[in-house]
Amino acid sequence: MKKSTAIALTLMTALGAASAAQASVSYCTTVGTAKLNKEISLATKYGNTAKAAALEEALANIETSCAAKEMQEAQKKVIKLEKKLTQAQNELTSAQAELQKAQVVGKNSKILKYQNKIAEKQAKVEIVTAELEQARATLAALTS
């Protein structure tokens, strides 16, 4: 009788750990971790310490994996925004050069056109700079 109970307990633990590990991809959400915490509570409540320990380990692994994934995504976003900012700054510099050419020629219509273009490019640079600062703050929060 004791042997069959031990086998059943081992199987339940293995199945619990396997199902928790298998679900790790979808458990990066608050709902997923809440479900896993509930399973841990139930296992603890009914004295299944082995299953609770396995689920707690799975939860820790999931949280670590999710944190690493979030950090990687934040790093990618920072890199993407840095490239976008460089491009926006290059476009602004180009528009300023065109304005200077138009001023040398003295064409008022072209001067006005490039002044408007410069204003648009400056606004774009400011927006991307703000987005980049936010992304860097997010990344810094994840790394600390």
What is the model's pLDDT at position 29? 67
Q: Which residues contact 120 (CB under 8 A, 6 or more apart)?
A: none
Burial class of 6 by CB neighbour count within 10 A (0 to 12, 13 to 18, 19+): exposed
> What tens digit of pLDDT does each residue of 37-70 get?
999 999 999 999 999 999 999 888 888 888 888 8
- Which of 70, 76, 117 lies closest to 98 in space, CA to CA? 117
What is the model's pLDDT at position 132? 97
Output the CA–CA distances (angstroms, integers) from residue 22 to 32, 33, 41, 110, in the order listed.
12, 13, 20, 63
What is the model's pLDDT at position 23? 40
What is the model's pLDDT at position 1? 41
Task: Give dist(CA 67, CA 61) in Å, integer.
Answer: 10
25 pLDDT above the threshold of 80: no
What is the model's pLDDT at position 83? 98
Output the CA–CA distances (angstroms, integers) from residue 86 to 5, 59, 131, in the order listed.
66, 41, 13
Are the beta carbons of 139 and 71 closer than 8 angstroms?
yes
105 pLDDT above the threshold of 70: yes
What is the model's pLDDT at position 11? 38
What is the model's pLDDT at position 65? 84
Query: What is the Cα Rg of the chain in Å?
Result: 28
User: Which conformational region is residue 127 in: left (phi greater than 0), alpha (psi within -120 to 50 degrees), or beta?
Assistant: alpha
